[in-house]
Amino acid sequence: MKNRLTALAIAAALHASPAAADIETATFSGFGTLGAVATQTDDLQFLRVGIEAPGSDTVKLGSDSVLGMQGNFRLGGSTEAVLQVLTRKTPKNNYTPRASLAFLSFAPAPEFTLRAGRLRVPAFMLSDSLDINYAHPWVRPPVEVYTLNPFADLDGIDLLYRTRIGDVDLELHPYFGRSRVDITESGRASLSRLRGLNLGLSRGSLTLHLGYSRARLDLRWGDAEFGVLQHALEALPEGRHILAEMQGNGASTSFTSAGFQWDDNRWQLIGEYAARRASGFVNSAHGWHLTVGRHIGPTTPYVRLARTRQDEPIVGDALSAGLPAVEAFNASRNASQRSIGAGLRWDAHTNAALKIELTRTHVDADGWGAFFPTGDIASTRVSDRKINTLSISIDVVF
């Protein structure tokens, strides 16, 4: 694929040079980001849904900061083992390192690669490099799209089939497995029978992506606020039916994504659309983003637009009507918002980039967007507000 930044990051961070690969049985590399994001209001904090736990600070270092190390071990012939360990703030409010990649790969032919173990859930166009912020122009990928699916780890198998048809590079990527993600405090969500197929096309400066997946969702909320709500609902005649829509086992889910990248070393355009459908426990929603950047020497100024909208709430109107606490629950799990941002990437060194981005966000009237109260939840209005955020990061690969 021809995206300049992604190719540079992957080449620098994840793969040995051809010469080194001929003489070494193991290669090591790494990547990292030190980032900070600040909101202009004292009562709200920015929150990367599915990535970090809420806190009480309007300036946050945990949203984007990450450190990762990777080892590629050639086992002979066409077999390779890959281990990647990274640390970043988790929904449990800690920085416990975890194995984000741990798989064996085997290439029986130049066009085919079989992999088994812990892989990356390839839900998005940029899934393979999501933790490598150096690979992207932004401080972080637009949350309006990339928080629609917080599952990162795929424990299972996949197949990569790559070929060339005329002057077009084609990649087919079927996969199967399961995934799990922690939620704030004691909550947890898991996907079973996760199966999907991605299609990638590349020609010259243009790359196209299309993906679709289905899975079975089990989910338990574990935050204290939900515990209070659950206790109150259990005392109502209709409470059991409401709780069955909020959490449980066996909801059917699907996820669709489509995107494009164009980078001719002068102009950079990136756009992506994603949609999540669920029969329960999480809302159905869709989002999109569009970025236009211009390479000027070592700098890339850019502007971006993004939007996410809820299609169906977790608890339907028929059950939530007249119950303010249930309506508040729906709003707190609804990330609907629209934003416009402007930023600058400066490649200060071959393997280091400094980024700064200013974003103006309008949270929808029935949601909380990517924000969370820093203080009392009940007395803080999040919905239908305009919020400015300033983000800064230093990204490196080594």
Q: Does the predicted model carry a pTM greater than 0.85? A: yes
Give dist(CA 136, CA 357) in Å, integer: 13
Nearest to 391 by CA among 328, 344, 322, 335: 344
CATH number at 49 reads 2.40.160.10
Burial 51-63 (b: 16+ CB within 10 A, else e): bbbbeeebebebb
Give dist(CA 158, CA 195) in Å, integer: 10
Q: Which two tokens stand for residue 337?
A: 């918002």
Structural domain count of the chain: 1
Q: Which two tokens stand for residue 174?
A: 């079927």
Nearest to 337 by CA among 142, 97, 91, 174: 142
Contacts of 91 by beta carbon, 8 Å cutoff, 6+ apart: 50, 51, 52, 53, 181, 182, 183, 184, 187
Give dist(CA 317, CA 326) in Å, integer: 10
What integer pLDDT is reported at residue 52 of this predicted model?
72
Q: DSSP states of 65-89 as a string?
A: -EEEEEEEEEEETTEEEEEEEEEE-
Helix (H) / strand (E) element for 103: namely: strand 98-109
What is the number of H-type helices and E-type strands within the chain?
7, 19
Provide the residue range defining the domain that includes 264: 4-397
What integer pLDDT is reported at residue 348 of this predicted model?
96
Give dist(CA 164, CA 183) in Å, integer: 42
CB 390 within 8 Å of CB 38:
yes
Give dist(CA 221, CA 243) in Å, integer: 11
3-state secondary structure of 133: helix
| Phi-psi category of residue 392: left, alpha or beta, with phi > 0 → left and psi -120 to 50 → alpha | beta
Direct distance between the N- and C-terminal alpha carbons of the chain, in angstroms, rounded to an integer = 22
340, amino acid identity: I
- Per residue of the chain (398 residues), give pLDDT as tens: 444 444 444 444 444 444 344 435 899 999 999 999 999 999 999 988 766 777 777 789 999 999 999 999 999 889 999 999 999 998 888 899 999 999 999 999 999 999 999 999 999 999 999 999 999 999 999 999 999 999 999 999 999 999 999 999 999 999 999 999 999 888 999 999 999 999 999 999 999 999 999 999 999 999 889 999 999 999 999 999 999 999 999 999 999 999 999 999 999 999 999 999 999 999 999 999 999 999 999 999 999 999 999 999 999 999 999 999 999 999 999 999 999 999 999 999 999 999 999 999 999 999 999 999 999 998 999 999 999 999 999 999 99
